[in-house]
Amino acid sequence: MYMNQMQSIQGRIKIQEYYENTQQIRLNQLQAKCSHNSFSQSDYYRQLAFNDQKLQQGGCLMLEFDLALKKGELDEKYTIYVAHDENEEPQYTLAHDLKSVYYYHVDYPQHLPIFIGLSVLQEAKQLNLVTRGYLLNTESLYKMYKGLGMNFLCTDKLFDTNYTIPI
């Protein structure tokens, strides 16, 4: 038991040194561990929290949001959901899951950049959901994320806000 505690303490010291050494790195010099989110762990806050006992689960700095619609609910026709939930069914809204990432940011303001990949599922694409209303183009989508204090990465551009060192 004592040996396990010592290994855990040594691991935490190394983790702290790692984070201190990476705080001044430019965004284009950073490599991040990516994850295809587990349906058994849809809580993004927990995925971002580093767990030195389960290295394969914690410390993910890139998250994937599968954007979807709930079927058969007309009153929520224009609500975007994230399909990465425990029952493999859209349960939480995109806004809910973004808040989870935001709360992590508030609790750990010195964290490394968090990349969020948006994957628009087929049924959402068919309804043109993401381009409807105020989300007319990538710049509009970027402005929405910038207002939330987040950076946005899309396939052809990297938008940078004042929360990172300019690239």
7-11, 13-17, 69-73, 93-97, range with the lowest pLDDT: 7-11
53-57, 61-65, 161-165, range with the lowest pLDDT: 161-165
**H or E stretch covering 7:** helix 2-22
2-11, 21-30, 126-135, range with the lowest pLDDT: 126-135
Kindly tell me if the per-residue pLDDT of 72 is higher than 60: no
Query: Model confidence over 73-122: pLDDT tens digits?
Result: 555 556 777 776 555 566 788 888 888 888 888 888 877 777 787 777 65
Find, among 117, 112, 104, 108, the residue nearest to 154 by Cα.
Answer: 117
Q: How confident is the prediction for the chain on average, in pLDDT? A: 63
Spell out where 49-141 has E strands.
62-68, 81-82, 92-93, 115-120
Spell out where 17-167 has E strands.
62-68, 81-82, 92-93, 115-120, 152-153, 158-159
Kindly tell me if the per-residue pLDDT of 30 is higher than 80: no
Q: CB–CB of 153/115 below 8 Å?
A: yes
